[in-house]
Copies of this chain bind each other. A is one copy, B any other.
């Protein structure tokens, strides 16, 4: 894969979205990264704040938001409107030619509405297909796509979709054409051995060491979906997956978690 062009796919979430100063600092860093790059952002807490303001009841089951029609409309406004366009405008000011996307835009990410089993998650989509052709044209023009966590079913329905999954599915879809590096940025330095000790970073997790950590129940449960996404990407030709603070993107001395197959 060494002769493929590099492509960095970077996902931000949590505190990096909610704190204006942290976001601004991240965007400075993102804009200074050379070469083709894609940003994927989560929603942060704005959606919950607007829900409270409009009197919309937030329904959670097992820590997951239930997306009824009113909630979908609200997150479409917050994710694709407020957050996405704020990021795009700030990147333009930093001379980074950003272009905002949902999965409906240029038909880039199609999902299937999650089937109802014991829980009806509502308008939540699981990624079915990623269409890279228009994105590739844009990357070759120096444009940086900025994705929010919304996809569509190609039948007119927008769907709420996990941002970590969007990042890993984009990475997988591009992995035959680019040398893809996938970065999950959040407020911790990486995957921690001890959730109460920010310096207990596991600097390398291999597929076999991950199994051992799982068996010993040493991984904080909140990290499991993210780590499963990471290994899923590595299993599909993504060359590198890292988890940590945004600094890992540029600071050669930064400590973070790198996931590898071997």
Contacts and interface: CB of A to CB of B under 8 A. Distances in A.
Contacts of A158: 85-86, 89
Interface in A101-144: 101-102, 104-107, 133-134, 137-138, 141, 143
Contact of A89 (B77, B99, B157): B157
Given A54-B54, A105-B88, A106-B143, A155 B79 contact: no
A161 interface: no
A222 interface: no
Contacts of A78: 77, 81
Contact of A156 (B76, B90, B154): B90
Contacts of A106: 97-99, 138, 143
A82 interface: yes
Q: How many copies does the complex hold?
A: 2
Nearest to A27: B156
A106 B88 CA distance: 9
Nearest to A155: B93
Contact of A104 (B53, B92, B107, B134): B92
A239 interface: no
Contact of A81 (B55, B82, B97): B82
A105 B55 CA distance: 32
A192 interface: no
A155 B92 CA distance: 7
Contact of A93 (B93, B102, B156): B156
Contacts of A73: 82
A105 B89 CA distance: 7
A230 B80 CA distance: 31
Interface in A48-107: 50, 53-55, 73, 76-82, 84-86, 88-90, 92-93, 97-102, 104-107
A11 interface: no
Interface string A141-157: 10100000010101111
Given A82-B81, A143-B106, A150-B85, A134 B93 contact: no
The 8 A-B pairs at the shortest CB distance, nearest first, are namely A81-B81, A77-B77, A93-B156, A77-B81, A89-B104, A80-B81, A99-B106, A89-B152
6 contacts: A88-B105, A93-B155, A93-B156, A97-B134, A98-B106, A100-B105
Given A85-B150, A134-B143, 12 more contacts: A50-B54, A54-B54, A77-B81, A80-B81, A85-B104, A88-B105, A89-B152, A92-B152, A99-B101, A106-B138, A106-B143, A137-B141
